[in-house]
């Protein structure tokens, strides 16, 4: 498929996806959604691809939100009838079992912040800005922001951010637990690709299971979460890669993963 609003490149086992509407600060319209679903679907289905990076084209924005011009005249019946936004939340979280990173290179506002929070973790440039300013448009976050932001930074900060619409700089976002690491803007893409390559070099079933276990902490209580983790451990104990990883350690050599 040829894309118009995103760019996709493969760097060995890492898929790099750029949202590419820099003149509109990479605002997320329906075409971006369809193209991202297609690109991430191909990434998930391609056995040679082990980790993905999502970033924004240009220097100014990761994504400045859902496309306000697309939403401005949309009536309630369409928002409700189409279940607008539901595919964003269902697709990028449940359907993608391989790890992926958001490399936030500028504004990540509204839907942009929400898509970044759907990633397994966020790497941010020192020029990034995070926020959920939907209140200023007379609405509220629509792709899970009120929930994921609260899980990430806690009630006090999430509430202050959604009620005032103020933006957070990357250092504050890192302190608050929204961001894994902040890196200089010029290094962000290389750093994200290198981090993704490290993840891509891990045994793929173990990568999936580690991701699933951490995500379970958002859905399950502590006891159920620990039980879920133990079941995943038991599952991995039956893989060839577990045998290879442990044997390679004992034999003091590098492991060679089969993905089985």
Q: Which residues pair with 18 in a beta bridge?
A: 7, 55
Which secondary structure element, helix H or strand E, spans residue 193, and what is its range?
Answer: helix 188-200
- Rounded CA gap, 13 and 135, in Å? 40
- Rounded CA gap, 149 and 145, in Å? 5
**Which window, 2-10, 48-56, 140-148, 176-184, contacts ligand CAA (CB under 6 A)?**
140-148
Known active-site residue 196: no
Q: Which residues pair with 122 in a beta bridge?
A: 102
Q: SS3 of 29, please? A: coil
Known active-site residue 128: no
Known active-site residue 145: no
Known active-site residue 114: yes
The contact mask relative to ligand CAA for 68-107 (x = CB under 6 A, - = no) is xx---------------x---------------------x
Give the rounded distance of the alpha carbon of 58 from its chain centre: 19
The contact mask relative to ligand CAA for 12-31 (x = CB under 6 A, - = no) is ------------xx-x----
Q: Which residues pair with 107 in a beta bridge?
A: 61, 129
Name the minimum Å distance from CB 12 to ligand CAA: 33
* C-beta of 59 vs 160, nearer to ligand CAA: 59
Considering only 99, 133, 170, 203, the residue that binds ligand CAA (CB under 6 A) is: 133
Ramachandran angles phi, psi of 124, nearest 5°: -120, 145
- Out of 61, 63, 66, 103, the active site residue is 66
Q: Which residues bind ligand CAA (CB under 6 A)?
A: 24-25, 27, 64-69, 85, 107, 109-111, 114, 133-134, 137, 141-143, 145
């Amino acid at each position: 498929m040829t894309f118009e609003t995103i760019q996709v490149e493969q760097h060995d086992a890492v898929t790099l996806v750029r949202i590419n509407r820099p003149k509109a600060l990479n605002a997320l319209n329906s075409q971006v959604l369809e193209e991202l679903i297609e690109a991430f679907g191909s990434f998930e289905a391609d056995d040679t691809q082990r980790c993905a990076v999502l970033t924004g084209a240009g220097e100014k924005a990761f994504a400045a939100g859902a496309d306000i011009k697309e939403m401005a005249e949309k009536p309630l019946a369409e928002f409700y009838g189409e279940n607008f936004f539901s595919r964003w939340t269902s697709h990028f979280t449940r359907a993608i079992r391989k790890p992926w990173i958001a490399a936030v290179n500028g504004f990540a506002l509204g839907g942009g912040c929400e898509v970044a929070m759907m990633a397994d973790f966020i790497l941010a440039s020192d020029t990034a800005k995070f926020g959920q300013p939907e209140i200023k448009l007379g609405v509220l976050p629509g792709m899970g922001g009120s929930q994921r932001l609260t899980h990430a930074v806690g009630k006090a900060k999430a509430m202050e951010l959604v009620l005032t619409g103020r933006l957070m700089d990357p250092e504050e976002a890192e302190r608050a637990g929204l961001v894994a690491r902040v890196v200089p803007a010029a290094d962000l893409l290389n750093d994200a690709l290198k981090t993704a390559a490290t993840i891509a070099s891990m045994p793929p079933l173990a990568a999936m299971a580690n991701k699933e276990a951490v995500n379970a902490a958002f859905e399950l209580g502590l006891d159920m979460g620990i039980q879920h983790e133990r079941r995943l451990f038991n599952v991995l104990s039956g893989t060839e890669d577990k045998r290879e990883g442990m044997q390679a350690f004992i034999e003091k050599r590098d492991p060679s993963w089969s993905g089985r």
